A and B are shown apart, each in its own frame.
Chain A
């Protein structure tokens, strides 16, 4: 399709514009609803909730829930898929550069003989629970460990995550379900809007 064709058909163009408006609307209502659902209305917390990194965290939890990643075996597969991806990425210098990641940082993000069993054991004891450092590993490709920590702290203050101390000194992170439900609802509304069956929420 040439670029002239894209603008030739008025009906197609109107539909295309509806899609792009819906993309923007989706992100806007997600942030609005998240802020409204927050137990804390502290401006510093709300500022963190508006960040792209918070959206990425919500998308990750939504992905876990929507894909039905629930059992020990599922989380083992997740760790393996993550490691395979990271290993592939370490061999792609151009992509590493585009993602702003160094090889050392990627190697730190891999699940090792120490961290992989911890991920699985914590999940086995409480499905959905991930310790904060392993959560940062899983999210390496979209945010730094420090950003992950700060977003998690803000989401805990907002009531979207539980952040519990463990006897090992690690922080255990468990979603309360608000992030994934909010994202899922916004996604559904957007899909209906694009399909022309928009309904009031």
Chain B
């Protein structure tokens, strides 16, 4: 086991106070994090959520941050694309947007 892989297990233990490792998405090959990164992630609930929802994107962001700190921009692979968000769940929003357009057009009918 490499130090990084060991650290990857550590993050699971660290994050498990907030959520179980089973919640971490990303398939059978989750990314690994150093102990320093694990400590950083644990300090911020938003990073904990990112580690659960989009672990590879968090890995990508931490790598970019590391490059910037070392003033050594690397030629890394682009981050994987996020899955598309299907849109807001409520049906009220689309109806409200049509009402806003109607109001902007002067209320009742259309200007045409």
- Interface status of B94 (Cβ within 8 A of chain A): yes
Q: How many B residues face the partner with a CB closer than 8 A?
A: 25
**Known contacts A143-B85, A147-B84; is A85 also within 8 Å of B96 by CB?**
yes
In the complex formed, the residue of B with least CB distance to A86 is: B100
- Interface status of A100 (Cβ within 8 A of chain B): yes
- Interface status of A6 (Cβ within 8 A of chain B): no
CA distance A134 to B86 in the complex (A): 21
- Interface status of A99 (Cβ within 8 A of chain B): yes
Determine which of A67, A82, A85 lies in contact with B111 in the assembled complex, contact meaning CB atoms within 8 Å: A67
- Interface status of B71 (Cβ within 8 A of chain A): no
CA distance A142 to B90 in the complex (A): 8
Cβ of A98: which chain B residues have Cβ within 8 Å of it?
Answer: 89-90, 92
Closest chain-B Cβ to A52's Cβ sits at a distance in Å of 4
- Interface status of A150 (Cβ within 8 A of chain B): yes
CA distance A59 to B88 in the complex (A): 15
In the complex formed, the residue of B with least CB distance to A73 is: B104
Cβ of A100: which chain B residues have Cβ within 8 Å of it?
Answer: 88-90
CA distance A162 to B98 in the complex (A): 23
In the complex formed, the residue of B with least CB distance to A64 is: B101
Main DSSP-derived SS at the A contact region:
helix
- Interface status of A53 (Cβ within 8 A of chain B): yes
- Interface status of B103 (Cβ within 8 A of chain A): yes
B87 touches A59 (CB 8 A): no
B88 touches A142 (CB 8 A): yes
B110 touches A66 (CB 8 A): yes
B88 touches A68 (CB 8 A): no
- Candidate in B89, B101, B111 with the most chain A CB atoms within 10 angstroms: B101
A81 touches B104 (CB 8 A): yes
- Interface status of A187 (Cβ within 8 A of chain B): no
- Interface status of B93 (Cβ within 8 A of chain A): yes
Closest chain-B Cβ to A96's Cβ sits at a distance in Å of 10
**Known contacts A67-B102, A67-B104, A69-B105; is A150 also within 8 Å of B84 by CB?**
yes
CA distance A143 to B97 in the complex (A): 11
- Interface status of A51 (Cβ within 8 A of chain B): yes
Q: A66-B110, A98-B89, A99-B90 are in contact. List 11 more A-B contacts (CB 8 A).
A: A56-B87, A67-B101, A69-B111, A98-B90, A142-B87, A142-B97, A143-B85, A143-B87, A144-B85, A146-B85, A150-B84
